[in-house]
Structure 1
Amino acid sequence: MDRELSSTTIKANKRKRIWQISAAIALVVFAILGFRSLITPSISRAEIRTAVVENGPVIATLTATGVVVPENEQVITSPIQARIEQVVRSSGEQVQPGEQILLLDRSFTQLAYDKLKDEQQLNQHKSVQMRLQLQKKLNSLESQLEIKRMNVKSLQARLDDEKYLIKIGGGTQEQVKQAELNLKIAQQELAQLERDIASERALLKADEQELGFTLAMQGRSIEELERKMEQAEIRATSPGVVTWVKNEVGSNINAGDVIARLADLSSFKVKASISDTYAEQLQVGSEASIRVGNTDLKGTIATIEPTVTNGTITFYVALPSEAHKLLRPNLRVDVQVITATKPSTLRVKNGPYFSSATGNQVFILRNDEVVRVPVTLGVSNPDFVELENGVSAGDEVIISSMKEHEHLKKMKLN
């Protein structure tokens, strides 16, 4: 037979049931929290690099590659086809005007010079011979001319005599006609001879002019070769430093080949190149910043080449004179062309995140979490990026690459 439980036992059983239910609920809660901690993504603080959002200026720039070149550089070319006989000055040596840099073998040009001199002398002899021959011919024609003139006078006298005989009845009309015919023939021959002499004189003058032109051209060619042979002793025409010289003694060079470069190292400029996609943003007179080591030098775009080569545009940046102590010829530098300036805006240090991220968003640190927030990215340069909205001054933004996590909205920070 069942007995009724006491109130004490009932209360004890009730408390036991409550504890059991509480323990079960706690286990369920702990299980849920543990599972969530297992499936919630996280990132280690050591894996990321951050920067604090601050107020400050941001200067928008285009990045170009550049090389330092002398502002004034003289390119020396070979005046003749020759062989390098001696290198008098090497690269890096300073030279003054008139000092020799290279000595070229002039034997090939000397042969051409001697041949041209011989041809000139031959033409001079031909000129004398032609003049003598033509003069001889003219003398013969002039002698014939005098004879013809005397013959015409004689025939004219004969005609006058025949006319007089007819008048006194001692001649015939046929004899007069014959005398007139003979006179006309002699006059025609005289006129033809005079024309032949005039033609010969004109021919002599033309031949003399032609030979004169030939001799004059040969004279100029000889003078040019003489000057080139003098220039074969390659000398500096202005003070400077030899930046490059063809130092292969015995090698053959052609006329026009570059054999040395002479630079004035008292002034420099930067030769820069950039993709042609930025062509419209390049303007003569625009400011540019040249980074040499940890130093930024200010400059301005002086010239822009009009042609595009292999998808790039070349331009030159003029530099102030006080910058030259840091510069060396052929020194590689980074060039930043300034396109816009924001004097005061929210900015954060530039980093790998902004070159790899897609879309306008950043990751900021909030307590122990990393949260993705939408932002509007503004102008940028290698140092800073403008954040137009979405963040506040003092926010800590991740600037290291987040390419593997950019799809996540939130992560735990370990």
Structure 2
Amino acid sequence: MKKQRVLFILILSIVVLTLTIITSFFVESRSQKLPAVIFSEKVIISSRVEGVIKSYSVSSMQEVKQNDPIAIVANSRLLVKLETLRKERDKYVELINSAKTGDYLKTEVYDLEHDIQKNRKDMEAAKVELDNIREKYVYLNERFALGSKKYIAARKMYDNALLSQSDFEKEVKSYRDVQNEQSELKADSLVAIETIKSSQNIINLLQARSSIISSNVNILAAEYVIDLNDVDAKIKDLEEDIKSLQVYSPIAGIVTDINYLPGENVNKGDVIAEIADLSKVWVIAYGSSFSRLKVKVGQKVKINCGDGEKIWGKVVTISPVMEKVKSLSSSFETNNTYTKIEIQFDSLEEAMRYVTPGERLFVRIYF
């Protein structure tokens, strides 16, 4: 009786094993196991201003909520620039009020006359300098003519061996020195002439503006209003930049990358951190050319999680081309080509309890 029971159990085990093998073979023939990676949408956080990273309020792989502080960028020049613009704005407001009441003549015209007198002084000084240069040039021309004759004579004597090399070199040096002085005087004269022309042009422009101010108050006020609007726009932009010195998270998620250290310089647009958006997570499976032919959109997928849990999803897209993939797991490297198959979780809330963005695992797609 005991032998019969053992035989029965043995036969039953063989039947169960056979059924398991048949079932596994059937499942294998109607499905495919593929390597896969968990992906999430990444949001990059860029600095809106240039400056220095003062500090981070988060660390890598830390969970953050929307509007949580991420980092502080320091830029003291922005505050100085803002203060300067505010003073400039106050000046334009005062000038507009003065223009409307006629008091502008006491301010703007006075400043213009002061600038005109300054440029006249610069122009007169340049004229005096030009006269001195011309006198020097006349004297230098005489020296140059005499030096040329002495150089030619010395050259002939040297060629006929009537003058030593050292004496000849002295004559050459004297001749070259006069030439250099001439070149310097020419350059100085050009600078003086340009200064005279520039000063005269500036004087003409200042006098024209003074005439406009004295003849038409309304035009002046309108010009100041335009300037004031321009300054207001700059102040508004600068205030926004100053607000941007404190960087906040635009979404809830996980900080995956911190790209700078406190004390490092950043430019406008530099990516200072990256956040994984956990509300947008999916799986990419990597299949062969066979997979591309057998896998269809909508097919069920079993995702084997690292802790042994199994969750479900479905195929949503299949890449029409094969792509090179460098690595599919931490245990081996490959440069083969694969078909990318995108898989969507049936329940994202359930999935986030068992998987992590960046995790490598295996999935089974059922045909």
Q: TM-score, normalised by structure 1?
A: 0.41
More strand by share: 1
Return the index of the structure with the highest Cα Rg. Answer: 1
